[in-house]
Amino acid sequence: MAALISFYERHEKDLKREQNLTYEKQVERLASIQSSVKDLADFVSQQQKQLESSRVTLQSLENERKKLEPVVQADREVVEAILKLQAEKEVSSVWLERGIGFLLGIAGSLIASIIFAFARKRVGPSGVQETA
């Protein structure tokens, strides 16, 4: 009977030891899980901060775009007006240049005719120079 009691006590000690090991393993696993959850919480927190920073930057850029849009639109209208005016001036200046060229051509022809007439009077119809 003593052997049976000894065997029973040894068996209970082994069970308690196994349970303690099981509890220790569970505690270790829980600590590991807790660490993983903490790391995950830190990661989520960091991602939230980055997302908030990106949102603030995006909002800032959107506000800046809204401020600059009227200026850009006004500048575009001014540039278009300047280009239109330049095109109109170019068309009118082309006709002015052509008119001036035509008048200078006529004036050059008249001057050449006058010089030619004067030279003809001086030389005479026979080709001999007359003395005055």
Q: Are 86 and 92 in contact (CB under 8 A)?
A: no
Tens of pLDDT along 64-111?
Answer: 989 888 877 877 888 888 888 888 888 778 888 999 999 999 999 999
CA distance 103 to 97: 10
What are the Cα distances from residue 11, in Å, to 23, 47, 55, 120? Answer: 18, 53, 64, 152
Q: What is the pTM of this model?
A: 0.41
Domain map of the chain by residue range? 1-97
Q: With a cut of 80, say whether residue 3 has pLDDT above it.
A: no
Q: Where does the pLDDT of residue 54 fall: very low under 50, low under 70, confident under 90, or very high at 90 and above?
A: very high
